[in-house]
Amino acid sequence: MKHFLDLSLISKTDLQNILSEAKRRKSLQSNSGKVIISDKSSAKDKLLLMLFEKPSTRTRLSFDIAMRQLGGQTIVMNSSDMHLGKGEESVEDTAKVISSFSDIVMFRTFKHQTLIDLSKLLTVPLINGLTNSSHPCQLLSDVMTYEEKKGSIKNANIAWVGDGNNVANSAIEAAVQFDFNLNVCVPKKYLPSKKILDWAEKNNGKIKIFHDPKKGVKDVDCIMSDKWVSMGDKGDSKKKKNNLKTFQVNDKLMSLANSNAIYLHVLPAARGEEVTSSVIDGKQSLVWVQAENRLHGQKAIIDWCLSN
Ligand code: CP
Ligand code: NVA
């Protein structure tokens, strides 16, 4: 059984295959409707159950549409609809029921450990739809978007600017697995996970930490960013935003990157905070393509999980 829990847990070969499959499926896409079954897939007639403990627009829509386009079906449940998490039913009992009713599960939750626990109890594949620690599906679409515009990401110079959050952690794992150089530009207070940084170092990751974004974005081919305050972030968000002020991606910062550098954002965005409108709505921004590529990425991930 194949779970899609983190990029670090999947072989480089499998990740390359998933990426190629996402691109291939995009090339087959028909514009005549949103529910056209695209090519044969191991998801045909299968049921994807999506469990959300946090809000979502892109992840929910892209997985739902992906499954329909693959010829399968979906059920979405929010945590408020379930007994789980309210002291009414155990994870063990919930996992048994979920396993019997679905062929594959996607889970968006708070603690990463909850995802790991569930993965050990399920008898069907589990996909990480975002935890406080990582967001691997997002990085697949980011790598795809980069490659569509600029060619192979291998040895590319990329900067992450802002909070050392869940997506930054997955960007570090992506840098190792897809072999690109990543400048992580974050304040000292908001470093990415030490465990993931240590894993990257052990695996010859080309990761550099910068506390001055102006230095970190110099000559890069791509700048990536995300909201300064993530869902479920505890603490004083006003203070955090204040501490991150100098990490805003604005025209001045963009001008320090290569002149043809692209800008990516996980979305949703807070214009005027982590990025200015001039950048996110500007010529170098590929955020809408990046969001659309979630759909193609999800199809390849689902297919990988369900194939032998
Ligand atoms: N980027 C992303 O995962 O967006 P949603 O929170 O809308 O799913
Ligand atoms: N870092 C953000 C990503 C949202 C898709 C969060 O976790 O809220």
Find out whether the beta carbon of 3 lies less than 6 Å from any atom of ligand 1.
no
Among the atoms of ligand 1, which is closest to the Cα of residue 108?
Answer: 8
Same domain? For 170 and 226 the reply is yes
The average confidence (pLDDT) of the chain is: 95
CATH of the domain at 227: 3.40.50.1370
Retrieve residue 151's tokens. Answer: 């060619």
**Percent of the chain's residues with pLDDT above 70:** 97
Each residue's pLDDT tens digit, 121-146: 999 999 999 999 999 999 999 999 99
Q: Who contacts 116 (Cβ-Cβ below 8 Å, separation ≥6)?
A: 5
Q: Which CA distances in Å does 144 have to 100, 105, 188, 221? A: 34, 23, 30, 14
Range of the domain at 62: 7-135+292-306
pLDDT of residue 85: 79
Find out whether the beta carbon of 62 lies less than 6 Å from any atom of ligand 1.
no
Retrieve residue 128's tokens. Answer: 């990480």
Each residue's pLDDT tens digit, 6-60: 999 999 999 999 999 999 999 887 665 556 666 788 999 999 999 999 999 999 9
User: What phi, psi does 288 have (nearest 5°)?
Assistant: -80, -35
Find out whether the beta carbon of 230 lies less than 6 Å from any atom of ligand 2.
yes
For residue 122, is it within any domain? Answer: yes
Same domain? For 125 and 197 the reply is no
Find out whether the beta carbon of 138 lies less than 6 Å from any atom of ligand 1.
yes
Same domain? For 143 and 260 the reply is yes
For residue 2, is it within any domain? Answer: no
For residue 1, is it within any domain? Answer: no
Find out whether the beta carbon of 133 lies less than 6 Å from any atom of ligand 2.
no
pLDDT of residue 30: 67
Same domain? For 185 and 79 the reply is no
Amino acid letter, residue 283: K
**Overall domain count for the chain:** 2
**Percent of the chain's residues with pLDDT above 90:** 91
Q: Work out the average pLDDT over 77-98.
A: 91
For residue 24, is it within any domain? Answer: yes
Burial (0-12, 13-18, 19+ Cβ within 10 Å), 2: middle
How far is 264 from 145, CA to CA, in rounded Å? 9
pTM of the model: 0.97
pLDDT of residue 33: 58
Atom 7, ligand 1: which residue's CA is nearest?
Answer: 57
Same domain? For 202 and 216 the reply is yes
User: From the CA of 61, how far away is ligand 1's center (Å)?
Assistant: 9
Measured distance between the N- and C-terminal CA atoms of the chain, rounded to whole angstroms: 8
Closest ligand by atom to 168 CA: 2
Find out whether the beta carbon of 57 lies less than 6 Å from any atom of ligand 1.
yes
* Closest to 295 measured CA to CA, from 4, 87, 70: 70
Same domain? For 169 and 99 the reply is no
Q: What share of the chain is helix, strand, coil (3-state, %, to 5)?
A: 45, 15, 40
Three-state SS annotation for 264-286: EECCCCCECCCECHHHHCCCCEC
Each residue's pLDDT tens digit, 215-235: 999 999 999 999 999 998 999
